[in-house]
Amino acid sequence: MGTVVEAANKGVNGSITEKNPTVVFVLGGPGSGKGTQCANIVEHFGYTHLSAGDLLRAEIKSGSENGTMIQNMIKEGKIVPSEVTIKLLQRAMQESGNDKFLIDGFPRNEENRAAFENVTGIEPAFVLFFDCPEEEMERRLLSRNQGREDDNIETIRKRFNVFLESSLPVINYYDGKAKVRKIDAARPVQDIFETVKAIFAPKNEKAD
C-alpha cells in the first residue's frame, strides 16, 4: 500500500525542480535566533519558510498512514529516514506555489545533505549559519523557558552537542564550496537582521 510520501512524490519531483527554485538552508544551534530571522526574511524578501520539524509534527497530527509510521519511529527512538523528511519538504515546496525557500533545521547531518541533493536534484544557493556562543544560547533558552520541557540546562547542552557533532560537518562541506554565510548571532536582533538583509538584498533586486 502506498504511503503519503510515495503519493506526494508522484509528479512533485519533476515539477518543483523545473521551477529551478532558490533554496537556502538555515542552520544554527538551539537558541541561535534562526526562527526570528526567518520570519524577517519571509516578510522582507518573500521567501517561504519550511521547518523540517514542523512538517514532521504536522504529518503526525494529520493521522495519515505516513504520520503514524513517523510517530512510531520516533517513539521507538529511531531516526526518521532522510527520504521521508525530504518528500515532505518537496510536497510543501510544491504546494506553496513559491520558488524561494528557507529550509530551517535541515539538513541535520551529512546523510540528510547528500540525500536532499540526490532526491531533489537541488543544491542550495547558500547556507545561512547563525553562529552563536554556547553560553549565549543557554542564556536565551533558559530565559524563554515557558513550560518547554526541552529548555533545561542538561537538555540544552545535549541539543547543543548533537548540533555540533551532526551539523558542523554539513557547514564545513558547504564552506568548502564557498556557500556558507556566517552570521554573528550573539548581537541584538535588529543588528543581525541588517547583516541578513545585506546577504539577501542583491539577489532579491536581481530577481525583481
SS3 for 151-203 is CCHHHHHHHHHHHHHHHHHHHHHHHCCCCEEEEECCCCHHHHHHHHHHHHHHH
Is 179 annotated to bind a ligand? Reply is no
Is 78 annotated to bind a ligand? Reply is yes
* Residue at grid coordinates 545535549: 158
Is 101 annotated to bind a ligand? Reply is no
Is 57 annotated to bind a ligand? Reply is yes
CB-based burial of residue 182 (10 Å sphere; 0-12 exposed, 13-18 middle, 19+ buried)? middle
Is 107 annotated to bind a ligand? Reply is yes
Give the separation between CA 168 and CA 149, rounded to whole angstroms.
Answer: 25
Is 26 annotated to bind a ligand? Reply is no
Is 79 annotated to bind a ligand? Reply is yes
Is 64 annotated to bind a ligand? Reply is no
Give the separation between CA 47 and CA 98, rounded to whole angstroms.
Answer: 8
> How is residue 27 annotated by DSSP?
E
Give the separation between CA 36 and CA 5, rounded to whole angstroms.
Answer: 30
Is 108 annotated to bind a ligand? Reply is yes
Is 112 annotated to bind a ligand? Reply is yes
Is 67 annotated to bind a ligand? Reply is no
Is 72 annotated to bind a ligand? Reply is no
Give the separation between CA 112 and CA 105, rounded to whole angstroms.
Answer: 11
Is 144 annotated to bind a ligand? Reply is yes
Is 34 annotated to bind a ligand? Reply is yes
Is 120 annotated to bind a ligand? Reply is no
Is 140 annotated to bind a ligand? Reply is no
Is 35 annotated to bind a ligand? Reply is yes
Is 106 annotated to bind a ligand? Reply is yes
Is 61 annotated to bind a ligand? Reply is no
Which residues are documented as binding site for a ribonucleoside 5'-phosphate? 57, 78-80, 105-108, 148, 159
Which residues are documented as binding site for ATP? 31-36, 144, 187
Which residues are documented as binding site for CMP? 112
Which residues are documented as binding site? 31-36, 57, 78-80, 105-108, 112, 144, 148, 159, 187
